[in-house]
Amino acid sequence: MPQELADHDLDERIRRVIDQKTKPLGALGRLETLAAQICRWQGTVEPALSQPEIVVFAADHGLSAEGVSAYPKAVTAQMAVNILAGGAGVNVLARQHGITVRLVDAGVDWPDRRPAGMIDHWMGPGTGDALTGEAMTAAQVERCLAAGAEVIDRVVDPRCNVIGFGELGIGNTSSASLLVSGLTGLPLADCVGPGSGLRGAGLERKLDVLRRVQARRPAPADAREALGWFGGFEIAQMCGAMGRAQATRRLLLIDGFVATAAFLAAWSLDPTIIAGAVFCHRSGEPGHGRVLDHLGAEPLLDLGMRLGEGSGCAAAYPLLVSAVDFVNQMASFDEAGVATGEPEAAAGAAPPPSDP
């Protein structure tokens, strides 16, 4: 049994350690909340971050043929090559903080053979077109969930205790919008945004296509059915990986809209997963804020980012380092020989006399 489930005094010990640091109560704000969450998840008042990784799941979507993206489907494969070469946004941000980036081929439609360096969990050259059929069969959904779990068990460094989740796939904000609307009941119009840059008539077309998809399948019974109807391979594999990361006591770093849609599916399957999840940022996609609200999640950053790739995880990671380091390295009042304040008493005390 994990320590935090057996140790009923853990929350009190965490609060006492944080409150006894040389600072006014709550003076480090949300860093204190983050530190407490990490301590609680790890079952200790001496938290540690080890061998951080970001796993990026890449796949194509049949729905991209319906004109729901500003970019052609070929960009998925091209950007995968860019990530492998170290030239993408996630690579730059991850290098700053010593984070390993891994790239999973969940179902990219390659014009040629897959380049070396990707993790092979290929399910086919993209999902089906959700406008004319289902994106995935039930069997494919199960294979994807198992493949994602296998990435955690067989690919991620066993010493790694904090994993960021990112994605790559032209058309995947459409799948995410349908998943979020289907699993939360939020109006589809509130969940659909520009994705890779649609504006004006292009955005209206995207919404029209997604409304037609939803009209065919308005009410999925559960997360598995929603994944099958709306896709995609990378989202389902991310969902499976998140569940396994939670089961193996890794901290989960959740990126933007698409990664949060995958998390929503994982949370629908097991709500306890949220205890170990850190939501890294609020993206520029309008649906992201709404699904975060549905989950009761408050992201660490709000920078208007909407790149995907796990870039928000890399940007937010230094805040986790700060939260862990202040718990482990900041002196307590006793250690520093600093007198503790009594804010309530001080607030009610008479002011000192003025100089004559």
Q: Which amino acid is at 26?
A: G
Question: Mean pLDDT, to the nearest integer, of 318-344?
Answer: 91
Q: Is 171 helix (H, G, I), strand (E, B) or coil?
A: coil
Q: Which fold has domain 3-48+324-344?
A: 1.10.1610
The answer to whether 172 and 234 are in contact (CB under 8 A) is yes
Q: Rounded distance, CA 27 to CA 210, Å?
A: 46
Average model confidence (pLDDT) for the chain?
93
Q: How far apart are CA 20 and CA 16, in angstroms?
A: 6
pLDDT for residue 76 is more than 90: yes
DSSP type of residue 163: E
Strand ordering across the sheet containing 277-279: 119-120, 100-107, 53-59, 162-168, 251-254, 277-279
79, burial (CB in 10 Å: exposed 0-12, middle 13-18, buried 19+): buried
Point out the residues that are catalytic.
309
pLDDT score for 342: 61
Q: Is a pLDDT exceeding 70 seen at residue 78?
A: yes
Cβ 22 vs Cβ 333: under 8 Å: yes
The string of pLDDT tens digits covering residues 8-31 is 789 999 999 999 999 999 999 999
Helix (H) or strand (E) holding 4, with range, is: helix 3-6
Q: What is the pLDDT of residues 301-318, one digit of tens each?
A: 999 999 999 999 999 999
> What are the residue ranges spanned by the domains of the chain?
3-48+324-344, 53-319
288-302 pLDDT tens trace? 999 999 999 999 999
pLDDT grade, residue 199 (50/70/90)? confident
Q: What percent of the chain has pLDDT over 70?
A: 93
**Residue with the larger pLDDT of the pair 221 and 343:** 221
Does residue 343 carry a pLDDT above 70?
Answer: no
pLDDT at 347 over 70: no
C-alpha–C-alpha distance, residues 13 and 37, integer Å:
13
Q: Is the pLDDT at 243 greater than 50, yes or no?
A: yes
Residue 340: band (very low, low, confident or very high) from pLDDT cuts 50, 70, 90: confident
3 state DSSP class of 140? helix
pLDDT of residue 198: 86
Residue range 118-131, pLDDT digits in tens: 999 999 999 999 99
Residue 337 has pLDDT above 70, yes or no: yes
Say whether pLDDT at 6 is over 80.
Answer: no
Taking a C-beta distance cutoff of 8 angstroms, is the pair 324, 16 a contact?
A: no
What integer pLDDT is reported at residue 350 of this predicted model? 45
Strands (E), 4-63: 53-59
The residues facing 164 across adjacent strands are: 54, 253
Give the residue-averaged pLDDT of 273-283: 98
Q: Return the number of other C-beta atoms located less than 10 Å from residue 157's C-beta.
A: 13
Question: Rounded distance, CA 230 to CA 2, Å?
Answer: 36
CATH classification (class only), 53-319: alpha beta
Kindly give, in sequence order, each residue whose CB lies less than 8 Å from that of residue 310, ignoring residues fewer than 6 positions away: 54, 55, 56, 90, 94, 101, 164, 165, 166, 167, 253, 255, 259
Per-residue confidence (pLDDT) for residue 346, from 0 to 100: 41
Residue 2 has pLDDT above 80, yes or no: no
Q: What is the mean pLDDT of residues 219-243?
A: 97
* Residue 58 main-chain phi, psi, to 5 deg: -120, 140
Amino acid identity of 310? G
Integer Cα distance of 3 and 93 in angstroms: 33
pLDDT in tens, 174-191: 999 999 999 999 999 999
Query: Is residue 345 scored above 50 in pLDDT?
Result: no
* Its pTM surpasses 0.75: yes
User: What is the pLDDT, as a whole number, of residue 195?
Assistant: 86
Overall residue count recorded for the chain in this entry: 356
Tell me which amino acid residue 223 is. A
- Which pLDDT score, from 0 to 100, does residue 352 have? 46
Mean pLDDT, range 155-176, rounded to an integer? 98
Tell me the sheet residues that pair with 21: 332
Query: Stretch 234-254: mean pLDDT, rounded?
Result: 98
Residue closest to 242 by CA, chosen among 310, 154, 160, 163: 163
